[in-house]
Structure 1
Amino acid sequence: MSEAYWLAVMQSGREVPADRSLDELTVDLVEMLGHPNPRLREDLAYPLLTTWIGNGVYDDLLTGLGDGIVPGLRYGLGHDGDVSVIRRSYSALMLAEIIGRDNDQHLLPESSVLDWGDRATSWYIREQDHRGWIPEQGWAHAIAHGADLLAALARSRHFGRLELTVLLDVIADRVLTPTSYIWRHGEDDRLAYAVMTLLHRNALDPGIVEPWLNRLGQGIKPPRTRGHLEAEWPSPSAGNTSGFLRALHLQLALGVQGRADLRSDEELFAEQPAHRADLLLAVLDQIRAESPWLYRPTTRAKPVE
């Protein structure tokens, strides 16, 4: 269908047109998700699909819709700097919406969500194109959209302690993997929010989270040989890791809220995460260790004897 056709659908209240089958309409919109023209992708395809998902249009077809979206995560995977990243990124963003619908309505089988989770995490740690904004093509944002997908998975009732631990490890792998890109479009905030979503599940104790934080902390300490730096520091990945830890600290300190359009978030985010105080100190330890000459030592309360 033409751009004019979809503009008319948007202007008529985003209702599902009656002159085409839902299958035909969906195939066209999903194809538009990978289009380099942001008007087609961001102003038409994405809002229409998310509206229809939210209105329950796909409730009986949600598994098939997700199965049709997931292959987009592999499209051009390994390429860096071309338009293929748009297909991968918006496939992740749409899959997050599908899983979000299931989190609210409990429509999907466990097997589908776990399979999509495997495919999503495999894509995320292998994604090489970290561009946020592309001139004339708009947002690519694979890192941010992937974080949104991990946050949706972290909310899923199908993800237990083991799966949530895997998500933590995937986030650490993503943050620490060497890259030439410096994140400057809110990627660190989106990834930190994914971690906060996971922590609000209260399924992981500090014995799991603190070693994970220690691993991240190793990524921001400058390597030294005979007292001097061997290369410019911080590297892009070290800078990204530092920004991520600082974003996580701020979100732990201030608290975060759920999405207004997800009813299930009201309960999930009603209280601060368990062990919040301990985790705040653990994150601060890593931030302080990056520049020990600058910050005062941590003062931890001594147990009463």
Structure 2
Amino acid sequence: MRRAYHRRVGNRGVDIGGIDWRTVARAEWPVPDGIDAARLADVLARMLAAADPVVRDEYGCTALTVWARRGILDSELARLGDAMARRLTAHPEIQARSFAALALRVVLTRGDDRCGDDVEGWYESFAQWYPNERDVRGHDPALGWLHAFAHGADAAAAFATALPERAPDILRLCARRMTARDTDIRYDQLEDASLARAITAVLCAPTLTRARALAWFEVLDDAFAGAEPGPCPAWAANTFATLQSLHLHLTRGLGDSGVPRHADAVAERVVGILRMPYPWLG
């Protein structure tokens, strides 16, 4: 879910892979002359791991999104997906892992029928990475936007569309991410809304029965088992914020897919958990 305040394209010139990216951006992203899709994919893959936020986010990610939507990279989607899936679990730098998740969302959104037979393998790598990523900062002064939490949420929703039979597993995966305890970071860049949106999108899967739409709450019940009054740890505060946002999403629905079929039942379970910090709820 790219946000308008991410994008300040063209604020300085960058030459990578023999491409003048400032000129390309100002011209509304034409494909540079003499550069085929394979070379474009290789250059973009390198840019998506860059520590420079202008290279990575403003040029690399924007170009990937635009050119994928236009079909320019269709022949390279499977190869890009393979590279990004490997990066999730193998790359040592947070910006590379986070933008690999975002790139997978872009690839999957173009259409899993163009991605070959490897989408399930990509999902396995994603499932290994997402709930276990420890660096969930939204922004870093030097690296710029990181958003591993939000980018992973976007990828989760895309995987649910590509692999609808995985919807119950993806809901559990989101619950594990939501309740991950190995952080002292309080979300302050709308990460809770990103995950709430993704969960709502997954809940729109037509294959979900009521029981499967509710099964992921077992993860939340286990996380809060034995909870006692006291200071609220960061993971619990993040979970409560995400559930509040989820309740709003379930009530209003998504602009492109409406309200999930089992929204009322899911919202009731959400309120049951929120009564722990807010016992005054009706």
State the TM-score, normalizing by the size of structure 1: 0.80
1:199 partner letter: L
Between the aligned partners of 2:91 and 2:29, the Cα distance in structure 1 is 31
Greater shift after overlay, 68-77 or 84-93?
68-77
SS of 1:290 mapped into structure 2: coil
CA–CA distance in structure 2, aligned partners of residues 159 and 255 of structure 1: 19
Match of 1:57 in 2: 72
1:90 equivalent among 99, 104, 117? 99
Q: Which residue of 1 aligns with 2:220?
A: 216
Contact 1:221 1:290 in 2 (8 A): no
CA distance in 2: counterparts of 1:127 and 1:219, whole angstroms: 18
Q: Please state whether the residue corresponding to 2:28 is helix, strand or coil.
A: coil
Structure 2's unaligned 5+ residue stretches are: 1-13
Identical counterparts, % of pairs = 28
CA contact under 8 A between 1:70 and 1:91: conserved in structure 2? yes
Residue type matched to 1:255 in 2? G
In structure 2, how many angstroms separate the alpha carbons of the residues matched to 1:11 and 1:203?
Answer: 44
**2:89 corresponds to 1:74:** yes
Q: Counterpart amino acid of 1:256? A: L
Structure-1 residue corresponding to 2:114 = 107
CA-CA distance at 1:283 after TM superposition = 1.6
Match of 1:290 in 2: 277
- Where does structure 1 differ by over 3 angstroms across 4 or more consecutive aligned residues? 217-222
Structure 1: 5+ residue stretches without partners: 78-83, 259-268, 297-305
Number of residue pairs matched by the alignment: 266
Q: Which one has a bigger Cα radius of gyration? A: 1
Tell me if structure 1 keeps the 8 A contact 2:61–2:103. yes
Q: Is 1:29 the equivalent of 2:32?
A: no
8 Å contact kept, 1:99–1:153: yes
Matching residue of 1:159: 164
Two-structure CA RMSD over aligned residues (Å): 2.1
Aligned to 2:6: none
* Number of the residue aligned with 1:301: none
Which residue of structure 1 aligns with residue 253 of structure 2?
255
Structure 1: which amino acid aligns with 2:261?
A: A
Match of 1:175 in 2: 178
Q: In the aligned structure 2, how far is the partner of 1:107 from the partner of 1:24?
A: 18
Alpha-carbon distance, 1:220 to partner:
5.0
1:152-176, Cα deviation, whole Å (9 max, x unpaired): 11122x331xx11111111111111
Deviation at 1:48, TM superposition (A): 0.9
Change (3 A) 1:250 1:218: farther
